[in-house]
Structure 1
Amino acid sequence: MEAQSRLSSADPAGTNLSDTLTISNKPFSVKLTDKLFSWWYKTKQPFSDKQTKTWACKNRVLVEEILAVEYVEKTAETKNGDIEMVSVNATAFRIHIIKRAPKHIWRTKSVEIYCSSSAQCALWVDSIRSLLDKYTNRPKSLLVFINPYGGRKKARKVFDEKVASIFDLAGITSHVIITERANHAKDYIMSRDLSRYDGIVCVGGDGMFAELLNGILWQYNSSLGIDLHDSTALLKRPDIRIGVIPAGSTDTVAYCTSGINDAITSALHIVVGDSMAIDVCSVRHGYSGQLLRFCVSMLAYGFYGDVLRDSETFRWMGPNRYNYSGFRTFLKNKSYQADISYLPSQALQTDHHPLQDGSRCYTGCSICKSASLLDLNGSIDYDGSISPALPDDNVDALSSLTASLTNVSLVSRQISTLSNVSPDSWTTVSGKYIGINALTISCRCATVPEGVSPACHLGDGSADLVMVHEASRLDYFRHLLRIQAKTSSQFDFNFVKVVRAKAFKVRVPSAVDPIASSAAQTASSFQRLDEPRNLMPVALSTWNCDGEIIEEPNIDVRVHCQLVKLFARGIEESYTKLDQCTSTCISCAEET
């Protein structure tokens, strides 16, 4: 007797489809709801002369993690003896889903399910597709930039062999551009209308990502008439998301936003439409206020700046040039005189999370969720009320946050600029530093699994400012070793100071801008440091800004809370399996 699919009438607005279907020649109970697709098999078989053993297979997958569903085409022989594919009146369908593996890796899995009739098959396929159509956050059209020269020069191969087929499976149209020079992607973005794309994807390393990020922020804000060289301007977050397919030598952005530098995993995060916003730093000339660059990972003066500058001589060595230049720079053990003024996070709100709490940033981080509403780019009045200028994607969070607003101190809170912050809120220190490092993300990578600053959050509106004072070569070597260690802190040295800051500025005593004037200083949004007092010639380093050199040592830096959106969800702290079967399950197809 032909089996019939059963639709529940208990909830007419929801989907509740169930039936007994065939998988790998075995009868499975299959069920589809608005949230879950599940299939399970259970039977008793002889185990010995005196007992039987229950063999079971259970699988459940969230509907949001279904990539696609398609009919299984039949093969038919033509009159000429050729084999052709026929999909008319198909009685089987294939569902493509995400399967998690250890170490935050995602893979695809496909399951073929056979029905008793074509009508029954069509009902299942149409029902699944209808549910998938509700996920409007999934991209349909992507602009893809491939950097064939970065990292290990495998970006094009990575996209062609690992990513393109996944995008095709999900029905995503990709417009692919192979970059031919530095800033090719940025120049393209600046001169094009991006409204027809749902996202921009970079296939390459962190440098390629930084180029896209700078291009998108410049293009979007300029199109709104915002003068980016005006330090008092309120920057706007672009609607378009950025996807990162790691193919570089470090891939710290991929590590920090998904937990692994795996191209397939990153492609799947893009396909399912994951979305999260991360902090971005604006780096300005210390005296003119001119915007130099946007920074999203690490901004470093001293050691890391010297490594980058020295490595430019050895580009022919590929990624190994960083290790070689790092060794050369370490032996020199240089330190640099500087005055640093920073605005601690607690100067703007008393409920900030202290750096010492050691909290990590994971998927659904409550600290970052709160910061998305209580940030310098937001629109919170002095009386604690929230204006309608709140971003649309945060409106739903208002009800959950209202209760906690009474615990938030909004003292000296100027929203569009920092000019109204009391000068007493700033802290100024001076000395000789091996390194001055500001991190807006933890900067995880393969060699530093916990990151340079493990407790740094992706979207809390602040940066971890690490000041490494002058020290012996041995002590600094111990500090570097601890950066790679998981059991001890690299900050537990008396020559290392780390603070969580909303903004900071650096002045090198001998680097005086010849055109600097009191009028130029007044025009800036920051409370300027006094003119350098020591005019004795001193050694200068350069800034390493996301792998790009900034020669100007005097800079003003401000953290813009969640200024750009990515196709990511953050690192999943722990994955609780949904009733998964073993790897030998008869329904499991070979992973791709």
Structure 2
Amino acid sequence: MASSTTVLYPNDTVKGKAVETVDHASRSKINGEGGNLIADVTSPHAKKHRIVFDRTLNVFEFKLLDGSSKHLTTYRLDELLCTSKSSVPLRKGVPTASKKGANTPKTLFFYFVYKEDKLKWRLKEVPVVFNTTSERDYWHTIIDSTIRRISSHNVEAFFSMSPGLRYQVLLTERAYHARDFIVEMPVDHWSALDGLVSDSKKDTGRDIDDPNTAHLATPHLRFGIIGAGSANSIVSTVHETNDYATSAVHIAIGSECNVDVCTVHRDSKLIRISANAISYGWLGDVLRDSENYRCLGPIRYQWSALRTTIRNPTYRGTVQFTLSHKETVDPRTKMPQCIKNCPVCEKPGKESDETTQYDYHFHDEFSHVICCVIPTVTPFTPHGLAPYTGIGDGTLDLALIPKVSRFRNMQFMRRLYSSDRTLVCYRVVRWSYQPDADQEDPGVWNLDGEILEQPKGEALHFKLHPQLISFFGRDAAMINPVKRSFIKKRKSSIVYK
């Protein structure tokens, strides 16, 4: 039987009927070639279908040829992981082995990604039987070459299916293991990484150490994270779940979303970068105390939380910040009063440090200072520590909680963003914290789950860099806590409970 593959170009028709168009996905990063590839095929159950590959919109259309227009299914090219001449064993949408089965004559297997539920992504196999083996091979070559132009043991099976994807698996065993591995990587390995052209920060002439520098240039390198930590908050926020298969799917198909980043500076020098949450006071002390009980495993956090709650630490210092948007009223009229001996209030004629140019300040004894770069979804905060902070919305949520009792602190940590009147939240683009110099213990910071020492009597400065890092993920992962009514979303930069 002769091949039935047909190539059409825009405005052409099939048997007198124009080919139906599908809205182009704005997230697709693949440039279309133009024209349509069409073939009449059969399913493994011998039912006749027509498959159309729209190379302008990068969309696949599967239509059952039974005289009805109801049986029509479409997929985007950025939802296609790969095509294969042999089947890959799947178990509940997850490949069970990296080794493929025997080559099946005339059959081409499409592997599309789909959402199994509201959170988890899986693979779907769509087998298509062509009229000839050569026709099957022609479609496989065209699709495979198009995909190639796209800018742990369980997840390796996903990567091995994706054409042209080279990878190396490193099992991290300690804090900063991944960072040290990258720093010590040989030059020839760096040159083999796609998208990494040079040190973009130096090439753009921007001083990364200066907290007042303009927006940094986005590196030409995308990051993918598969959750294997204690909380997996970045993974859960970007993918809406810490499910390893979902993370692997997004990496394998090349999904992309841009994430805000916060840089931390001391003495005009960059010391750390955060893409998650920064906390001081009670949360910092819990992390510091837990380091003494690593032998207990994950339960050490609950044990240290109890010990820290009994101690109920507070730290006296000054927070200065600049709001993300101008307010219609003077924010000073809404802000709490500073406690006595405020170093900023006592400066005559100066509201803030001229070198940093912060607009507002607050001097108090704090139980918590919490800054969220992203919503920070964890098993303990399923709607996010900061539910209305976006992944890349260009703002930081800064919550300042003055000294509270042990009981009130337990209430706050249990409910978080509750109706507690001690909570004041600001949407900021930059801020700083400086502890009072007369404190013997200045405390520590919990920065993305790692300890950052607070210098005694010295200020740390925090600067937002909108959408600085590109992750393998989807914009739809931004959390929308529709079932939570205790916070009303507002355009204001100051959120009160």
Which TM bucket (shorter chain)? 0.7 to 0.9
Which residue does the alignment assign to 1:563?
Answer: 468
Q: Which structure 2 residues correspond to residues 538-553 of structure 1 after superposition, within 5 A?
A: 539-553=441-455
* In structure 2, distance between residues paired with 1:294 and 1:332: 30
- Asked whether the equivalents of residues 199 and 243 of structure 1 are also in contact (C-alpha less than 8 Å), the reply is no
Q: What TM-score, normalized by structure 1, do the two folds share?
A: 0.63
Equivalent position to 1:24, from 11, 24, 45: 45
Equivalent position to 1:434, from 361, 367, 370: 367
Alpha-carbon displacement from aligned partner over 1:160-185 (angstroms, at most 9, x marks no partner): 12x11111100311123344554333
Alignment of 1:221 onto 2:217 = no
Q: Which structure 2 residues correspond to residues 137-536 of structure 1 after superposition, within 5 A?
A: 137=151, 159-161=152-154, 163-171=155-163, 172-179=165-172, 181-192=174-185, 193=187, 194-198=190-194, 221=201, 228-234=208-214, 235-285=216-266, 288-347=267-326, 423=357, 426-483=359-416, 489-490=417-418, 492-510=419-437, 535=438
* In structure 2, distance between residues paired with 1:345 and 1:226: 22
User: How has the CA–CA distance of structure 1 residues 225 and 177 changed in structure 2, closer, same or farther, with 3 Å as cutoff?
Assistant: farther
Q: Which structure 2 residues correspond to residues 87-106 of structure 1 after superposition, within 5 A?
A: 87=103, 90-106=105-121
- Select between 57-66 and 300-309 the one with higher mean Cα deviation: 57-66
* In structure 2, distance between residues paired with 1:22 and 1:505: 63
* In structure 2, distance between residues paired with 1:561 and 1:9: 41
Q: What is the deviation of 1:242?
A: 0.7
Coordinate RMSD, CA, aligned: 3.2
Higher relative contact order (CA 8 A, sep 6+): 1
* In structure 1, distance between residues paired with 2:324 and 2:102: 64
Which residue does the alignment assign to 1:36?
Answer: 59
* In structure 2, distance between residues paired with 1:95 and 1:107: 13
* In structure 2, distance between residues paired with 1:10 and 1:560: 42
SS at match of 2:382: coil
Identity %: 25
Q: What is the deviation of 1:428?
A: 1.1
* In structure 1, distance between residues paired with 2:170 and 2:470: 21
Alpha-carbon displacement from aligned partner over 1:348-391 (angstroms, at most 9, x marks no partner): x99xxxxxxxxxxxxxxxxxxxxxxxxxxxxxxxxxxxxxxxxx
User: How has the CA–CA distance of structure 1 residues 189 and 419 changed in structure 2, closer, same or farther, with 3 Å as cutoff?
Assistant: farther
SS at match of 2:320: strand
- Asked whether the equivalents of residues 307 and 322 of structure 1 are also in contact (C-alpha less than 8 Å), the reply is yes
Give the gaps of 5 or more residues in structure 2. 13-33, 88-99, 329-352, 480-497
SS at match of 1:318: helix
* In structure 1, distance between residues paired with 2:281 and 2:390: 24
Alpha-carbon displacement from aligned partner over 1:321-360 (angstroms, at most 9, x marks no partner): 112211221222222211111111125x99xxxxxxxxxx
Alpha-carbon displacement from aligned partner over 1:220-250 (angstroms, at most 9, x marks no partner): 5367776544445554321111111111121
User: How has the CA–CA distance of structure 1 residues 42 and 318 changed in structure 2, closer, same or farther, with 3 Å as cutoff?
Assistant: farther
- Select between 537-546 and 178-187 the one with higher mean Cα deviation: 178-187
Which residue does the alignment assign to 2:36?
Answer: 15
User: How has the CA–CA distance of structure 1 residues 11 and 254 changed in structure 2, closer, same or farther, with 3 Å as cutoff?
Assistant: same
1:129 maps to a residue whose letter is: D
Q: What is the deviation of 1:41?
A: 3.6
- Select between 176-185 and 308-317 the one with higher mean Cα deviation: 176-185
Q: What is the deviation of 1:306?
A: 0.5
Which residue does the alignment assign to 1:114?
Answer: 129
- Asked whether the equivalents of residues 6 and 19 of structure 1 are also in contact (C-alpha less than 8 Å), the reply is no
Q: What is the deviation of 1:188?
A: 3.1
Alpha-carbon displacement from aligned partner over 1:238-269 (angstroms, at most 9, x marks no partner): 11111111111211101111111111111111
SS at match of 1:113: strand
Q: What is the deviation of 1:7?
A: 3.1
- Asked whether the equivalents of residues 443 and 454 of structure 2 are also in contact (C-alpha less than 8 Å), the reply is no
Q: What is the deviation of 1:42?
A: 7.1
Q: What TM-score, normalized by structure 2, do the two folds share?
A: 0.74
SS at match of 1:571: helix
Alpha-carbon displacement from aligned partner over 1:12-60 (angstroms, at most 9, x marks no partner): 832241414233333333332233223244769xxxxxxxxx9986532
Give the gaps of 5 or more residues in structure 1. 45-53, 74-83, 138-158, 201-215, 351-417, 484-488, 511-534, 575-592
- Select between 305-314 and 246-255 the one with higher mean Cα deviation: 246-255
- Asked whether the equivalents of residues 48 and 66 of structure 2 are also in contact (C-alpha less than 8 Å), the reply is no
- Asked whether the equivalents of residues 300 and 543 of structure 1 are also in contact (C-alpha less than 8 Å), the reply is yes
* In structure 2, distance between residues paired with 1:572 and 1:191: 33
Q: What is the deviation of 1:199?
A: 7.1
- Asked whether the equivalents of residues 444 and 451 of structure 2 are also in contact (C-alpha less than 8 Å), the reply is yes
- Asked whether the equivalents of residues 467 and 498 of structure 1 are also in contact (C-alpha less than 8 Å), the reply is yes
Q: What is the deviation of 1:115?
A: 1.7
* In structure 1, distance between residues paired with 2:378 and 2:108: 40
* In structure 2, distance between residues paired with 1:456 and 1:434: 22
2:193 maps to a residue whose letter is: Y
Q: Which structure 2 residues correspond to residues 30-69 of structure 1 after superposition, within 5 A?
A: 30-34=51-55, 35-41=58-64, 58-69=72-83
- Asked whether the equivalents of residues 104 and 571 of structure 1 are also in contact (C-alpha less than 8 Å), the reply is no
